Amino acid sequence: MRAYLLLPIGCLAAATLLSACGGSSDNAPPDPALVAQGQQIFRFDTFGDEAQWTDTLRMHEVIAAAVDPTTALSVGLKVDADALPPSVVEGIRNGSVDLKSPATTVALIKLDAVVGIKGTVQAVDGKDALVRVGVTCALCHSTVDNSFAPGIGKRLDGWPNRDLNPGAIIALSPALTSAMKAVYNSWGKGKYDPRFNIDGSNKPVVIPPAYGLDGIHRITFTGDGEDLAYWNRYVAVTQMGGLGSVVEPRLNLSVTHGSVDLVSAKLPALQAYQLSLAAPAPPAGSFDAAAAARGRLVFEGGGKCATCHSGASFTDANATLHPPADSMAEPESPSYAARSATKQYRTSPLRGAWQHAPYFHDGSAPTLEAAAQTYNGKKGLGLSAQDIADLAQYLKSL
């Protein structure tokens, strides 16, 4: 038997729901009804992408045959503890719920408890069977607070799931060639390549937060869109396989799935919900305040960081994008910027940076210290070890 530690989650959960703290809004206050509708879409809407995940990839068969809850948690899938009825909670605690049985995964999917997975479960020959399955935005852009057990807790929407291994999950599909499986298996956890199935190049990027974006009008690492809806449409159709259309002349891209549009009408609410997600404040005691105060002087002075990381969200994104060489992850091959619509990079907003290591679009800096050190080395800033340590504490405080 293992004893589970119940952590207080009040402040973290509240922080994700409040739009007031962190980041300046240049919009009218969001309509609460639209935000609530957007939350449902973000968490539970597949846009009809079962066409891809069920009809093409046959993931319903894979899940039912081989994905028990222990396996699901090991590839980073999360379970929403609030969706579990008391009997299931008790059963997990006392071991009577079998976490080594795929049937348990199907039961959890039926409860809408597997974050980002939406299934249709029907009785077939008197037994529950998973007949359709699709994915939602929450798959990659939500995690849980682990308050019940590792991987099981309250939803944290907008927090990137850096434990998730999307490539390894997709590679389980029996519909893929071994060459395709090798590509998907090469990505690793917390990363995904949202352009691989468009341009055939293979270099995944880290899954970014979907919080802290209010007031920022360049979306994605490369600033491809001026609002979230632009990219939400792109992902819903081209990556999730939802039914609808995307036309992007800069990428010579025109994709339509199906004959109905299950995406467009949902975009305003979906965007309103994401804009309501503030970057989470750093946990109490997670940084040294005196060192952070010194680090701020480095950030604004000798580090020259504030020349690009400016304003309330620490980005000059609304004013400008940057040539590839301004990314500390470049030169890389293939260049992610070169594959994008803008061929440039957006200065990353830094609020909530403490939460989502590793850093830079390719995840090449494991910590904020490493990110600061990379700037110092590549740009010859001449910062001392003390300056770097202070700068890292400041970054942790944002």
92 versus 329: smaller Cβ distance to ligand HEC: 329
Element (H, E) at 314: none
159 versus 360: smaller Cβ distance to ligand HEC: 360
203 versus 309: smaller Cβ distance to ligand HEC: 309
Under the rule (CB under 6 A), what is the footprint of ligand HEC? Answer: 135, 137, 139-141, 166, 192, 194, 205, 207-208, 210, 213, 219-222, 228, 231-232, 235-236, 239-240, 270, 274, 303-305, 307-309, 322, 326-327, 329, 345, 347-348, 353, 359-361, 368, 371-372, 375, 391, 395
What minimum distance in Å lies between the beta carbon of 281 and ligand HEC? 16
What minimum distance in Å lies between the beta carbon of 231 and ligand HEC? 5
User: How many Cβ atoms are within 10 Å of 341's Cβ, its own excluded?
Assistant: 17
60 versus 396: smaller Cβ distance to ligand HEC: 396
Kindly state the tokens that stand for 279: 């970057």
Determine the Cα–Cα distance for residues 173 and 32; give it in Å rounded to an integer: 39
98 versus 332: smaller Cβ distance to ligand HEC: 332
Determine the Cα–Cα distance for residues 66 and 174; give it in Å rounded to an integer: 12
92 versus 388: smaller Cβ distance to ligand HEC: 388
What minimum distance in Å lies between the beta carbon of 280 and ligand HEC? 14
What minimum distance in Å lies between the beta carbon of 354 and ligand HEC? 10
> 276 — phi, psi (to 5°)?
-85, -5
What minimum distance in Å lies between the beta carbon of 94 and ligand HEC? 34
Instruction: Judge contact between 171 and 185, C-beta under 8 A.
Output: yes
What minimum distance in Å lies between the beta carbon of 394 and ligand HEC? 8
Helix residue spans in the chain (DSSP H): 10-17, 32-44, 50, 59-66, 69-74, 86-94, 102-110, 138-141, 166-170, 178-185, 196-199, 228-234, 267-275, 289-300, 368-379, 385-396
How far is residue 255 from each of residues 123, 225, 242, 243, measured CA to CA in Å? 36, 17, 11, 10
Kindly state the tokens that stand for 58: 């046959």
| Cβ burial, residue 242 (10 Å; 0-12/13-18/19+) | buried
What minimum distance in Å lies between the beta carbon of 53 and ligand HEC? 11
149 versus 229: smaller Cβ distance to ligand HEC: 229
Helix axes 289-300, 385-396, angle to 10 degrees: 110
Q: What does the chain come to in residues?
A: 398
What minimum distance in Å lies between the beta carbon of 40 and ligand HEC? 13
52 versus 104: smaller Cβ distance to ligand HEC: 52
